[in-house]
Amino acid sequence: MENLKEKFKRKLAENNYKLTKQREVILGTILGNKNWHFTAEDLFAAVKKKDQDIGMATIYRTLELMQNLKIINVHDFNEDSRIYELYSEESHHHHLICKKCGKLVEFSDQDIDYLESELEAKYDFKVTEHKLRFYGYCRDCK
């Protein structure tokens, strides 16, 4: 089975993008941390350890590229900075967010797909995705 690194390289090639050292380091960093939810700043810091000379603009540009290639996903949990994570196309998953410490828990999709069809019919929309979030306080903060 094709792994994520290969997949990324293939997608780059297919879309006429070049495989640069920076893009490789960035991808490696993202893949290296299982279940990582990170900001652009987080990624920048992590990547800097491997490549001293990388610039913030490259981080942003690569994040945007990866979104387009469906390698990663963006969330706007808090209004200050965006949070990214590896894209998972198989199973939707949603989030439980602590309003105090920002802790994130993922849980898998609980079949609210039936709602999609209802909404599509009722409002004449073509629904492509949904996001479900629960906000509250975690064990330590409640």
Partner DNA sequence: ATATGTGCAAATAATTTGCATGTCA
Partner DNA sequence: TGACATGCAAATTATTTGCACATAT
Residue numbers at the binding site for a second copy (CB under 8 A): 74, 76-79, 82, 96, 98-99, 105, 107, 110, 112, 115-116, 119-120, 122-139, 142
> Which of 102, 105, 103, 111 has the alpha carbon at shortest distance from 130?
111
Residue 136, binding choice from DNA, a second copy, none, Cβ under 5 to 8 Å by partner class: a second copy
101 binds, options DNA, a second copy, none, Cβ within 5 to 8 A by partner type: none
37 labelled as ligand-binding?
no
How far apart are the C-alpha atoms of 93 and 101, rounded to whole Å?
A: 21
Cα Rg for the chain, rounded, in angstroms?
Answer: 17
Shortest gap between Cβ of 75 and DNA (angstroms)?
10
Q: Is 39 helix (H, G, I), strand (E, B) or coil?
A: coil
Of a second copy, DNA, none, which one sits near residue 133, judging by CB under 5 to 8 A according to partner kind?
Answer: a second copy
